[in-house]
A and B are shown apart, each in its own frame.
Chain A
Amino acid sequence: MAVTSAARPRLGRLERPALTGVLVREVVNFSSYWRSATFSSTVEPTIYLLAFGFGFGALVSKVGGYDYVEFVGTGTVATAVLFSSAFAAMFGTFVKYQFQRTYDAILAAPVDTEELVTAEALWMATRAGVYGCVPMLVAIGFGLDPAWGMLTVPLIAWLAGFGWACFGVMVAGFAKSIENFSYVVSAVLTPLFLVAGTFFPLDTLPSWARFLANVNPLYHCVELVRHAAFGWEGWTDLAHVGALLAFGLAMWRLAIHAMTRKLID
Chain B
Amino acid sequence: MTELAVRIRGAVKRYGPITAVDGLDLDVPEGTCVGLLGPNGAGKSTTMRLLTAQSIADEGEIEVLGFRLPKESKAARAQCGVTPQLDNLDVTLTVEQNLLVFAHLYRIGRSDRQAAIERALQMAKLEDRRDSRVDKLSGGMRRRLLIARALVHRPRLVLLDEPTVGLDPQVRQELWALIDALRSEGTTILMSTHYIEEAQRLADTVLIMSHGKAVAAGAPAALVSEHAGDQVLEVYGAPARLAEVEAEAGAEGLRTRRTGTSVSILGVESGNGFVSDGERRPANLEDVFVLLTGEEID
Contacts and interface: CB of A to CB of B under 8 A. Distances in A.
Interface residues of B, number: 43
Nearest to B89: A105
B59 interface: no
Interface string A70-106: 0000000000000000000000000000001110111
Contact of A3 (B3, B56, B78): B3
Interface in B196-226: none
Interface string B103-131: 01111000000000000000000000000
B33 to A, nearest CB: 16
Contact of B84 (A9, A108, A111): A108
B55 A264 contact: yes
B66 A25 contact: no
Interface stretch (B35-43, B94-102, B240-248): B94-102
B105 A22 contact: yes
A109 B105 contact: yes
Nearest to B48: A108
Interface in A34-60: none
A139 to B, nearest CB: 34
A263 interface: yes
A25 B149 CA distance: 14
A29 interface: yes
Contacts of A105: 82, 84, 88
Given A3-B7, A29-B92, A109 B66 contact: no
A173 to B, nearest CB: 15
Question: Nearest 5 CB-CB pairs, A to B?
Answer: A21-B105, A101-B88, A5-B66, A108-B82, A110-B78
Interface of B: 1-5, 7, 15, 27, 29-30, 49, 52-56, 63, 65-67, 72, 74-75, 77-80, 82, 84, 86, 88, 90-93, 97, 100-102, 104-107
7 contacts: A3-B3, A28-B101, A29-B90, A101-B86, A108-B77, A109-B105, A265-B56
Given A6-B79, A24-B105, A104-B84, 8 more contacts: A1-B4, A11-B78, A29-B93, A32-B92, A33-B92, A107-B54, A109-B77, A264-B54
